Every structure is written in structure tokens, then in C-alpha cells.
């Protein structure tokens, strides 16, 4: 399985939250709600989660370290690639199959 598309949305005014992200796996499955966090040791990516009884539970997460690394690398690469704009507009798109300029023009 491969990360075939990444969209990153910059977040302004939050203490440690820098962006949210959406990834597409194998051009067939989309995951929303990943977060880019600025921690004590630098940026890291967290998977989508819900808070239940005071604890955060992942909604979706990779099972293997290889898949987690692929997701983290793709999201952080995209985060660093483009000048941030707004939360609603992607600050960039990585498409491993082909360049999709139409999506970035609208």
C-alpha cells in the first residue's frame, strides 16, 4: 500500500497544532484528520483520533512501522514544501501518480 496523495492545511493561532492533513492510499482510500504537531523534539504527525472518557483513541492508524513511516514522511514533506495559506485551502498536494495542476488552480 502506498500514500498516493497528500493535502496539508495550515492552522494559525494554535499553540502546537501546525496543520491538519488528508492522505489517500492507493488512490482508493482517503483518511482525514491527521495532525502536524510541533513538539519538544520537532514536528510529528498524529493519526485521526476521538476523545472518549478523557483519553484519545485512534480512529485509523497504520499497523506496520513501514506504513507509519511512509505516512509521516509524506505529510511532513508536503508540510515543508509549500508556503502556508489558509486552513480551508491546501498548502500543497503530493500526487505520486501524476501532477494534478487543476486541483491547485481552483
Residue 100's pLDDT is: 37
d(CA 3, CA 68): 10
pTM to 2 decimal places:
0.75
Domain count, the chain: 1
Q: Which three cell numbers stand for residue 92?
A: 500543497
Q: Across the 106 residues of the chain, what is the mean pLDDT of every consecutive 10-residue run?
A: 95 90 97 95 94 93 96 96 54 43 39
The burial of 42, by beta-carbon neighbours within 10 Å (0-12 exposed, 13-18 middle, 19 or more buried), is given as: exposed
CATH number of the domain bearing residue 8:
3.30.1120.40
The parent domain of residue 23 ranges over: 3-50+57-95
Residue 73's pLDDT is: 97
Amino acid at each position: 500500500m502506498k500514500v498516493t496523495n497528500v493535502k496539508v492545511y495550515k492552522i494559525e493561532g494554535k499553540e502546537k497544532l501546525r496543520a491538519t492533513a488528508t492522505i489517500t492510499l492507493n488512490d482508493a482510500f482517503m483518511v482525514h484528520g491527521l495532525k502536524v504537531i510541533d513538539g519538544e523534539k520537532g514536528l510529528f504527525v498524529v493519526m485521526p483520533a476521538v476523545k472518549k472518557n478523557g483519553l484519545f483513541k485512534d480512529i485509523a492508524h497504520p499497523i506496520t512501522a513501514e506504513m507509519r513511516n511512509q505516512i509521516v514522511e509524506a505529510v511532513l514533506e508536503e508540510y515543508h514544501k509549500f508556503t502556508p495559506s489558509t486552513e480551508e485551502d491546501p498548502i500543497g498536494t503530493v500526487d505520486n501518480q501524476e501532477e494534478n495542476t487543476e486541483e491547485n488552480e481552483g
